[in-house]
Structure 1
Amino acid sequence: MNKFKIPAIIFAVVFVASAAALYFYVQKDLGEKSDLEVNAPAWVNKNGSSGKLPVSDKVAKSGDSIKPALENKTEPIPPKDDRAIADSKTEASAANKTEQSPVQKTVDKIKDTIITEVFLDNLAQYIADSYHPAGSLPYKSQKGFSSASFKGVNMHFGLNLRGLMPDAENLVTAQKSIWSYLLTPGKLTVLSKSESGQLLDLIEEKGILAERTFAEGDSSSLHELTREQRAEMFRTNSQPLRHVASVLKAVADNPDLLQALDSYIKAEKRVDSANGIFQLDLDNSRNTQSESAKNKAAHSGKILKEAITIREKIKSGITQKIKSYCAGECDKPDDSFYIAQWIFRRVHNDEKKLKAIADGGEALSYLADKMVERAEAIEKSM
């Protein structure tokens, strides 16, 4: 046993000395304090690079944060006031809002509206591109005209919203969101008054930058629009607006047209059903070559023909009725019927939406008047 006593004593002495040295250096480190200032990089300001996160001027060593905790470990920590915490969060949130960057403000503005400047710019480009001066290719018309139409606009913006910014997950819900926004009574009237000036300015800008190809004998050349042609651009594009406005008003003022459209939709479905049966019977008669199969195909063909006749009679009656009700330019039967169908799908029997359709007619008439005024102003400056 004696041979283990000396190593044990040496081990005990070394352990005690190491523990004492460790304790001495720890106490020395905890006792030091630091007021070392650290300057943030140049790209960081007092409110943080994002404008939201505060940046501290000082960095404390670990001893500064550990020592007070050791000294006060026996004292109870007072409970925080929940209301004070909520108030401080509210104040911080308010401060963040007041410190929004211009980009963030622009984003918030876009989120608050569906009609954006991008949409207005695209609409202005569509309207300007729809103008075809006399002699321009490919039409070589005797006088200038506009190819703009309600169907054209619907196709142009329907599948690619081109600046319309609804908060939606897909195209279908986006379209519903857009028309829910626009078909609120009074909304289109407000928008026509607030946005028409900017839209007309954009159209005029597009006209100044526009070029058209004109036929010159056996060749062609590219020319900018003259001042006279830019005035004509506004005047000719006012005509499709008046046409759509007149149809909207005719349908909105005569709800019985919607009932007729409901009959048309039913007749159209009957045609689709009859055509399906006829195609099956016709295919069967060709395969079997039996007399009974041929008679059956002939009978289903007759039913299909009758269904088509009924559908077309209803369509013709609707277009004639629209023209009789229409007080303005309603001399495009196919376009008038397309507009009426569009109204039926959006409105059905909702009186509020029907009122919004009437507002839309007035808004388009207002915009058409403003286009004529702009054309006159351009002509006076010649």
Structure 2
Amino acid sequence: MNKFKVPALIFAAVFVISATALFFYVKNDLGDNNEVKVEAPAWVNKSGSSGKRPVSDKIAESELKPIPSLISNGTDKKETVIKDKKEQAPAEKANQTAPAPLEKAVDKIKESIITEVFLDNLAQYVADCYHPAHSLPYKAEQAFSSASFKGVNMHFGLNLRGLMPEAGTLVAARKSIWSYLLAPGKIEELSKSEVGPILDLIEEKGILAERKFVEGDTFSVRELTRSQRAEMFRVSAQPIRHVAKVLKAISDNQDLIQALDSFTKAQKRVDSANGIFQLDLDKSRNSNSEQAHKQASHSGKLLKEAITIREKIKTGITEKIKTYCAGDCDEPDDSFYIARWVFRRVVNDQNKLKSIAAGSEILEEIASKMENRADAIEKSM
């Protein structure tokens, strides 16, 4: 063991000398200057410019529960002091004031299903559906509007685009919208307040619109002329008057509602017959039995008969509407689509036919006002 004593003593002596030297070096380097300030990065101060949020002069009062006392050396205790809630900071009291302007605006929008956003989108739809002569993509010889009842229903049915019903699902939202619009007197009320603004919006969209016009093998992009803006109103009135005529035909002829009910039942028979036929056909393909082949053939005949009956009812409904309208319901060919739409709305409450009739009259008025607006634009040329 003696051979380890000398190295151990040498190691101990070196360690003590090194520790002593390090202590005096650090002491001399720092000195006793207790006035040295430790500055936070610039972005935490009010003068910071990094975009970070500055730290306020006062720290808002915490509403947390008091932190348990900290114990030091088993005897000393330091308790956290929490201010009384009655001494709230001004910033906290400000948060308890009246709703902000944005909240008021949102509340106002929620008061009605029909919002300004919807009206703006509707006006844009009408303007977008106007196609001047020789414009792309259709290159038509005469101007026309591609707007239709089905087009509007699809455009706003999948994305409400500013309609704001209180509903959890899209299906419930649609139901809520039409319950709102078909309530007694609601369509008349809206027509008095909204028709003027919607026509102004359409005219504004026409002023801002641009179209691609064919020029030989190429095209040029131009704004609409004043004459074309007048034409936009005139051709856009045509599909509106068409829908008005179809709605009037249905509301004036309640036997069409009965025929539509028959069509719905015929459609169910077709679905049932088709299901039976598909099962029998599958059996006949997987069997060499003559009986299976005969059964599939019989089921096929029943399906064909069901389809024939359904189509006869559909044709009868369409022809009666066209006859009643005396040519005004011919184009576009969506009379049956509109008829089925009406049926779904009134099947459980035929009193809504009164609202449908009122809607027809209002659409006629809107079409006339659009033609009057076209005349006014032309006179200002």
Match of 2:293 in 1: 294
Distance, in Å, in 1 between the alignment partners of 2:109 and 2:118 is: 11
Equivalent residue, structure 1, for 2:198: 199
Shift of 1:327: 5.7
Q: Distance in 1 between matches of 2:301 and 2:244?
A: 40
Q: Helix, strand or coil for the counterpart of 2:166? A: coil
Q: CA deviation at 1:159?
A: 1.2
Distance of 2:340 and 2:334 partners within structure 1: 10
Map of 1:116 onto structure 2: 115
Q: How does 1:105-254 map to 2 (within 5 A)?
A: 105-254=104-253
Q: Distance in 1 between matches of 2:124 and 2:178?
A: 22
Asked whether the 8 Å contact 2:148–2:332 carries over to 1, the reply is: no
CA-to-aligned-CA distance 1:315-365 (integer Å, 9 cap, x gap): 010011112222672113741100000000011152331111111111111
Mapped to 1, the partners of 2:224 and 2:108 lie a distance apart of: 35
8 Å CA contact retained: 1:319, 1:333 = no
* Distance change >3 Å, CA 333–CA 120, structure 1 → 2: closer
* 1:144 Cα deviation from its structure 2 partner: 0.3
Aligned AA (2:172): T
Determine if contact 1:246/1:327 at 8 Å carries over to the other structure: no
Report the AA paired with residue 298 of structure 2.
H
TM-score (norm 2): 0.74
State the distance in 2 between where 1:257 and 1:351 align: 12
Equivalent position SS for 2:334: helix
Match for residue 67 of structure 1? Answer: none
Structure 2 unmatched ranges of 5 or more: 1-86
The answer on whether the counterparts of 1:166 and 1:174 sit within 8 Å (CA) in structure 2 is yes
Task: Supply the AA of the counterpart residue of 1:202.
Answer: L
The change in CA–CA distance for 1:221 and 1:281 in structure 2 (over 3 A counts) is same
CA distance in 1, matches of 2:294, 2:236: 55
Partner Cα separation in structure 1 for residue 285 and residue 355 of structure 2: 53
Q: CA 1:39–1:317 in structure 2 vs 1: closer, same or farther (change >3 Å)? A: closer
- Whole-Å separation in 1 of the counterparts to 2:251 and 2:159: 28
Which residue of structure 2 lines up, in the alignment, with residue 317 of structure 1?
A: 316
Q: 1:132 to 1:180 in 2, by over 3 A?
A: same
Listed as ranges, the matches of 1:1-382 within 5 Å are: 40=90, 48-50=93-95, 52-53=96-97, 101-326=100-325, 329-332=328-331, 334-382=333-381
SS at 2:161's partner residue?
coil
How big is the alpha-carbon RMSD for the aligned residues of Structure 1 and Structure 2?
Answer: 1.9
Task: Measure the CA separation in 2 of the matches of 1:231 and 1:276.
Answer: 53
Other-structure match for 1:79 = none
Q: Following the alignment from structure 2 to structure 1, what is the Cα–Cα distance between the partners of residues 333 and 260? A: 14
Q: Percent identity?
A: 71
Q: Equivalents in 2 of 1:327, 1:299: separation in Å?
A: 42
Q: Deviations over 1:162-218 (max 9, x none)?
A: 100011111121111111100012211111121011111111111111111122111
In the alignment, residue 183 of structure 1 is paired with which amino acid? Answer: L
Paired residue secondary structure (1:213): strand
Q: What amino acid is the match of 2:235? A: T
Amino acid at match of 1:194: S
Instruction: Say if 2:121 and 2:162, in contact at 8 Å, map to a contact too.
Output: yes
Q: Is the 8 Å Cα contact of residues 131 and 147 (structure 1) preserved in structure 2?
A: yes
Distance 1:179 1:38, change over 3 A: closer
Residue pair 1:132, 1:144 contacting (<8 A) in 2 also: yes
2:239–2:332 CA contact under 8 A, matched in 1: no
Q: How many Å separate the matches in 2 of 1:380 and 1:102? A: 43
Give the secondary structure class of the aligned counterpart of 2:211: strand
Moved more, 127-136 or 322-331: 322-331
Question: Is the contact between residue 192 and residue 363 of structure 1 (CA under 8 Å) also seen in structure 2?
Answer: yes
Distance (Å, rounded) in 2 between the aligned partners of 1:189 and 1:165: 20
Cα distance between partner residues in 1 of 2:358 and 2:108: 25
- SS of the residue 1:169 aligns to: coil
Unaligned runs of 5+ in 1: 1-36, 54-95
CA distance in 1, matches of 2:285, 2:89: 90
Q: Which whole-Å CA distance do the structure 1 matches of 2:332 and 2:196 have between them?
A: 31
Q: Is the 8 A contact 1:267 1:311 kept in 2?
A: yes
Report how many aligned residue pairs link the two structures: 295
Secondary structure, counterpart of 2:214 in structure 1 = strand
Greater share of residues in helix: 1
**107-116 or 287-296, which deviates more:** 287-296
Letter in 1 for 2:347: H
Cα drift, residue 291 of structure 1: 2.0
Give the whole-Å Cα distance in 2 for the aligned partners of 1:325 and 1:124.
31
- Asked if 2 retains the 8 angstrom alpha-carbon contact of 1:189 and 1:362, the reply is no
- 1:39-97 Cα offsets, whole Å, 9 max, x none, are 957xx8xxx544x43xxxxxxxxxxxxxxxxxxxxxxxxxxxxxxxxxxxxxxxxxx5x
Task: Tell me the distance in 1 between the aligned counterparts of 2:88 and 2:239.
Answer: 68
Q: Which amino acid aligns with 2:241?
A: R
Matched position secondary structure for 1:288: coil
- Equivalent residue number for residue 81 of structure 1: none
Partner of 2:3: none
Separation in 2, partners of 1:128, 1:314: 37
Whole-Å separation in 2 of the counterparts to 1:290 and 1:342? 46
Contact 1:242 1:365 in 2 (8 A): yes
Distance 2:310 2:202 in 1: 41
CA contact (8 A) 2:329 2:335 kept: yes
